[in-house]
Amino acid sequence: MSIDMLSAQKPLTPDEAKQYSPLTLAFLGDSVYEVMVRDALLREANRPARELHTQAVAHVRAAYQAAAVGKIADMLTEDESDILRRGRNASGISVPKHATPADYRKATGFECLFGYLFLCGEIARLRELFAVIWQNNTQDHDNAE
């Protein structure tokens, strides 16, 4: 399933999408990003589901998403940076034991951005950002070997 086939609704305007709370945008963005990760992993190679799940979890955890923010930060428009900042600074965030507060806040901002772009129908932009994250992931993995 392609990311652009997920929504049966018409895109929102940026002003409409900004009416949602940062944590609500992050709620959606988390799933959008996870679908993109699962799609990328699946297309790389036909692997057992357990291995796919393990790799997907590694890519959607807070530390990985926090690092992804650094990889795309220079690419973001002013509006996108504002959305990311809103998510990062949102109140009411409960940090799980497996993440640092700083990483979790960055990850929440990252998910907020992905939710916002998805609601606005900015699928090409989501793919552009994801490609940079995924390309850097592949390079980081190759350099580690």
Distance from C-alpha of 93 to C-alpha of 24, rounded to nearest angstrom: 12
Q: What amino acid is encoded at 134 in this protein?
A: W
Whether 142 is catalytic is no
> Of the listed 4, 15, 30, 74, which one is catalytic?
30
Structure-block tokens of residue 2? 């392609």
Q: Beta-strand (E) ranges in the chain?
A: none
The CB-based long-range contact list for 129-134 (8 Å cut-off, 24+ gap) reads 129/72, 129/75, 130/33, 130/36, 130/40, 132/71, 132/72, 132/75, 133/68, 133/71, 133/72, 134/40
* Catalytic residue annotation: 30
